[in-house]
Amino acid sequence: MELVATAILLLIAGHWTTGNLISNAALTLLRHPDILRRFRNEPDLVVPLVEEVLRYEPPVQFIPFTTALADIGITDTTIPKGAQVWLLLASANRDPKRFDHPDRFGPDREDNQHLGFCTGIHYCFGAPLARMEAQLALPQLFHRVANPRLLADPPPYRVNPVLRGPRHLPVAIDGLIA
């Protein structure tokens, strides 16, 4: 029973999320042709690029149904012990008090401490693996296809408010680069 529960957890926590990270990154790059052009010439850009996708289009949008274990003071508000709290990670990632021009996608952003993998004791266990998968997949994809362009914008999305990503990402290309 524990084995099955762990397998299901890893499939959802580790597979769906990383798939969404790669497709959200592909979509965002195709919407920013100037950055895509740069990425093809600067392979090292992939590291800050993946971090910026985790901030700008996070695969996990929010964490529902958490509970405050103590009274928590935030500015002039107190969240009482026992209250149900929903953590809006995607919203915090666009907080203008924390990030300059938060709605602008830019892999050159400095001090990019996003909440794409949450924070604290529940910080994502698989973050290093997810980062590595995206950092390997994106160059393979974009350095090998000629003239990629979106066929649908926005693409069709999965119906899931927590795990956000396209169901399909239809793209036209002019062929493969050897």
**Cβ-based nearer residue to ligand HEM, 122 or 168:** 122
83 Cβ partners below 8 Å, 6+ apart? Answer: 67, 68
Contact segment (CB under 6 A) with ligand HEM among 29-37, 74-82, 123-131, 140-148 equals: 123-131
Binding-site member from 68, 124, 145, 150 for ligand HEM (CB under 6 A): 124
63 sits near ligand HEM (criterion: CB under 6 A): yes
60 binds ligand HEM (CB under 6 A): yes
Beta partners for 85?
66
* Sign of the torsion angle spanned by Cα atoms 126, 13, 95, 167: positive
Buried b (16+ CB within 10 A) or exposed e, 136-170: ebbeeebeeeeebeeeeeebeeeeeeebbbbeebe
Q: How far apart are CA 68 and CA 81, in angstroms?
A: 5
With CB under 6 A as the contact rule, the residue among 125, 149, 156, 157 that binds ligand HEM is 125
User: Is 18 a binder of ligand HEM (CB under 6 A)?
Assistant: yes
Class of residue 116 by CB neighbours under 10 A (exposed 0-12, middle 13-18, buried 19+)? buried
Q: How far is the CB of 127 from ligand HEM (least distance, A)?
A: 6
Among 118, 145, 150, 171, binds ligand HEM (CB under 6 A): 118
Q: Is 130 in the site for ligand HEM (CB under 6 A)?
A: yes
Q: How far is the CB of 51 from ligand HEM (least distance, A)?
A: 11
Q: For residue 17, state whether it binds ligand HEM (rule: CB under 6 A).
A: yes
Kindly state the tokens that stand for 140: 């393979």
Q: Choose one: 15-23, 75-83, 95-103, 104-112; the region binding ligand HEM (CB under 6 A).
A: 15-23
C-alpha span between 126 and 33 (Å, rounded): 30
